Amino acid sequence: MHVRTPVAKLLLFGATGDLAQRMLLPSLYGLHADGLLPEGLTITGTARSEHSDASYRKFAKAALDEFLPADRKDEKAAKSFLERLQYQSLDATDLTHYQQLAEKVGDVSGGLAIFLSTAPSLFEAVIRGLDSAGLAGATVRIGLEKPLGYDLASSREINDTVASAFSEDRTFRIDHYLGKETVQNILALRFGNSFFEPVWNARGIDNIQITISETVGLEERAAYYDGAGALRDMVANHMLQLLALIAMEPPARFDGTAIRDEKAKVFRSLRTIEPADAPLMSVTGQYAAGASGGEIVKGYIDELGKPSTTETFVAIKAHVDNWRWQGVPFYLRTGKRMTTRRSEIAIQFKPVPHSMFSNRGGLLQPNVLVIRLQPEEYVQMLMMAKEPGLDRDGIRLREVPLNLSLDAEFAGKPRRIAYERLLLDLIEGDQTLFVRRDEVEAQWMWIDAIRAGWVANDMKPKNYASGSWGPSAAIALTERDGVTWQDD
Ligand code: BG6
């Protein structure tokens, strides 16, 4: 059994921000309502805005009212949850403010977990402030929300700053995809079943596709997103994490060291995309006007209100250079304002070595294992079957799905927000689903080379209509290899 050491206090930076309202407060409430928070755990919120404890509780209540699903609302539970909350305003750049914060938080000898989501420019000031006020000692752990830098150099700087006050075993880097139930299910699927492993390699698998398509556009995040783009926002973290879970060797144990060791090895095995190859191995796009999610929407530039060459779409052909994956392309694709919201992994197996049906007109398609992460949660194996009939005009074979609907199978089980799991693991001190420093740095190394290739080749994003699957060049990226994106 994993040893858990729950903290007695939680300190939330960015406590009035969007993430806090939409995700953190509802998640903490959910844990509280189910009796999963340690008894007596206090939650101190901090941000620049002025609030008394009472007005912050009101603010938090409004967030719960707005963002909790109806079936999770319970006035009694909300009332006792709000009693855990208190608030201290803070100018993160003013060192003297941290003393007041420390006084508000109180004694941390029983353990404190800090959740920090802040602009990268404030990291240094915050870490120094916490350290100077005694909020970084051995009983304190810190959860860090992205963006943790925008390239290898800046991420190293942030990691060094954090490491100056928090040892790695007290540092919890968040990738919220790892908190998703279906993402964790990849491990159960791969390592809880014996029949995948013998074919889970270059002999059995032809190619792997990972798609995260979204229908949303810029939302209210122009300041961050325009400086980031799809490669940094989605590939450098979520998509590479998914790739690693699919590609890694079987870990010996379900623990933070074993799992993260194997993921890190995958990141270090990613084949560097040399600048000369960037135009062939990657495609970038930016959404133009169109119709997405059932509404007419503006193009990115119009939404932003100024010219920009930021990519809102990226497709990449990646390789993992080790024995298991030699010659197997991993096609990654993500974009905003696409035709549908979908996170999915499609694993296409090799065709049968010889078709006995070809002289009787039967056509075969290779098997595909589809792992749908959202919005629905299912695993589907596309298999060949014979259509019923007397076959006078030849044998008709058809691809049919073998379905495992996780939604239906576990219908009675509550579905938790990814942050519920991650906040609880942070509070209890389980690092398994958090990203280690060597993982992050290996990810950036690979990402930086791609970006350098775009610069070297003066690659600009190609326009794609909102509501489409991205620029046509993304189709060419796979079709050149005789592979079609799994689009329906
Ligand atoms: C975030 C990105 O990390 O993930 C967003 O910054 C993106 O741009 C979001 O929309 C997607 O998360 P999910 O859970 O909705 O797939």
pLDDT digits (tens, 9 = 90+) for 366-413: 999 999 999 999 999 999 999 999 999 999 999 999 999 998 999 988
Per DSSP, which regions of 123-190 are E strands? 140-144, 171-173
Task: Give the up-direction half-sphere exposure of residue 109: CA atoms within 13 A in the CB hemisphere.
Answer: 1
DSSP 44-63: EEEESS---HHHHHHHHHHH
CATH number, domain 9-145: 3.40.50.720
DSSP 334-386: EESSBSS-EEEEEEEEPPPSS-TTGGGT------EEEEEEESS-EEEEEEEEE
DSSP 224-255: HHHHHHHIIIIIIIIIHHHHHHHHSPPPSSSS
Q: Which residues of 316-350 are buried (b: 16+ CB within 10 A; e: fewer)?
A: bbbbbebebbeebbbbbbbbbbbbeebbbbbbbbe
Question: pLDDT class for 108, splitting at 50, 70, 90?
Answer: very high
The response to whether 214 counts as a known ligand-binding position is yes
CA distance 270 to 330: 10
Please give the residue that has the higher pLDDT: either 369 or 416.
369
The response to whether 176 counts as a known ligand-binding position is yes
∠ CA 258-141-89, rounded to 5°:
145
Q: How far is the CA of 149 from the centre of ligand 1 (A)?
A: 17
Residue with CA closest to ligand 1 atom 8: 233
CA distance 406 to 412: 11
Active-site residue, 238 included = yes
The response to whether 439 counts as a known ligand-binding position is no
Provide the pairing of β-strand 378-386 with 397-405.
Answer: antiparallel
pLDDT value at position 31?
97
> Model-level pTM?
0.96
CA distance 330 to 311: 20
Question: pLDDT class for 1, splitting at 50, 70, 90?
Answer: low
Residue with CA closest to ligand 1 atom 13: 177
Q: Which of 145, 212, 238, when mutated, tests ligand 1's pocket best, judged by the most ligand atoms within 8 Å of its CB?
A: 238
Q: Are 108 and 134 in contact (CB under 8 A)?
A: yes
How many residues are present in the chain?
Answer: 488
Q: Largest Cα–Cα distance in the chain? A: 87
Residue with CA closest to ligand 1 atom 14: 177
Q: How far is the CA of 466 from the centre of ligand 1 (A)?
A: 18
CA distance 384 to 400: 6
Model confidence over 218-241: pLDDT tens digits? 988 898 999 999 999 999 999 999
Q: Are 228 and 351 in contact (CB under 8 A)?
A: no
Domain segments of the chain as ranges: 9-145, 178-414+436-479
The response to whether 336 counts as a known ligand-binding position is yes
The response to whether 319 counts as a known ligand-binding position is no
Catalytic residue among 32, 51, 97, 238: 238
CA distance 271 to 476: 21
Given a cut of 60, whether residue 180 has pLDDT beyond it is: yes
Given a cut of 70, whether residue 2 has pLDDT beyond it is: no
pLDDT value at position 407?
87
Pocket of ligand 1 (CB under 6 A): 214, 233, 343
Q: How far is the CA of 215 from the centre of ligand 1 (A)?
A: 11
Closest-lying ligand 1 atom to the alpha carbon of residue 374: 16
Closest-lying ligand 1 atom to the alpha carbon of residue 418: 14
Residue with CA closest to ligand 1 atom 15: 214
CA distance 375 to 342: 6
Q: How far is the CA of 393 from the centre of ligand 1 (A)?
A: 50
Q: Is 423 left (phi over 0), alpha (psi -120 to 50) or beta?
A: alpha
Residue with CA closest to ligand 1 atom 5: 233
Given a cut of 70, whether residue 24 has pLDDT beyond it is: yes
Q: Which of 234, 237, 287, 338, when mutated, tests ligand 1's pocket best, judged by the most ligand atoms within 8 Å of its CB?
A: 234
Write the DSSP symbol of residue 451: H
Q: Which CATH class is domain 178-414+436-479?
A: alpha beta
- Helix (H) or strand (E) segment spanning residue 425: helix 418-428
